[in-house]
Structure 1
């Protein structure tokens, strides 16, 4: 199922199932991102790196990612309700997997070059998701636009750190 309206084929039956599935999407996305962020928190290695002038203070990242993860979760949930086997849903899961890989690559393995590759893939997958959901579910596409903007900004920071160090 890659196009058309497949509302209701995602497996959530009835209003209770819909809301439970939303809670699960948010818990998985926000919880996963929070856990990975806590396990791979910036440490002395990151603090010692040269950073670009446009790098925000560290305290900005947590709140921004929390809001974005909720928006990403809602977009994924809406897409899942439309047809969980479709290409947009696969792209959503792949971009989230790339997102969850980025912190271990950058902070855990201390490989900004590898992390840059991961964030480029994440951005491409997110762009494709937005493109494929624009007509059938504009709300999901719009929910992903701030995420796409932040991923692009984070990619620029990643590129600058890789270049400067």
Structure 2
């Protein structure tokens, strides 16, 4: 197996692990500031997060490995660049929202993350249909989640 494919698989997995660790570090829903906010009515219940995020992270790792091992050089590049930018935007959202309490900048960051997930879904789908298909729930989740901080910003 060529080094570029192995490197892509390792880099992709490291990005997802960094995403999980980084978001876990900054997302704190128990503090007084967060509890004081008026929630948008479409805010998902807390239990949903414990179900969807392990799935999302596993799907990102699996799809990343599929693209790394089977994708063209272009697909691997789109995957890694798209994933890195999407993860950076999602982590920016977590930091801006939960640490900085900057509602509008956080909303913009999560909208950017949602937009940036589209190329990775396409790269995965074009490489292995199943790899793109397992990312559809993640893509939908991030798109819907992007509306939640907008709701917070409008209400608070």
How high is the TM-score relative to the length of structure 2?
0.80
Find runs of 4+ consecutive structure 1 residues off by over 4 angstroms.
none
Q: Distance in 1 between matches of 2:38 and 2:25?
A: 22
Q: Can you give the 5+ residue segments of structure 2 that lack an aligned partner in the other structure? A: none
Match of 1:46 in 2: 34
Match of 1:108 in 2: 99
Match of 1:128 in 2: 119
Q: Can you give the 5+ residue segments of structure 1 that lack an aligned partner in the other structure? A: 1-6
RMSD: 2.7
Q: Does the alignment pair 1:72 with 2:66?
A: no
Q: Secondary structure at the match of 1:86?
A: helix
Q: Distance in 2 between matches of 1:136 and 1:36?
A: 28
String of CA shifts for 1:112-152, please: whole Å, max 9, x gaps. Answer: 21111111111111112223443232222212211111111
Match of 2:5 in 1: 11
> Which structure is higher in helix share?
2
1:30-45 to structure 2, matched below 5 A, reads 30=17, 32-42=19-29, 43-45=31-33
Match of 2:43 in 1: 55
Q: Distance in 2 between matches of 1:93 and 1:107?
A: 21
Evaluate the alpha carbon distance shift between residue 136 and residue 39 of structure 1 in structure 2; reply closer, same or farther with a 3 A threshold.
closer
Count of aligned pairs: 151
Whether the 8 Å CA contact 1:30–1:66 is kept in 2: the answer is no
How high is the TM-score relative to the length of structure 1?
0.76
Match of 1:4 in 2: none
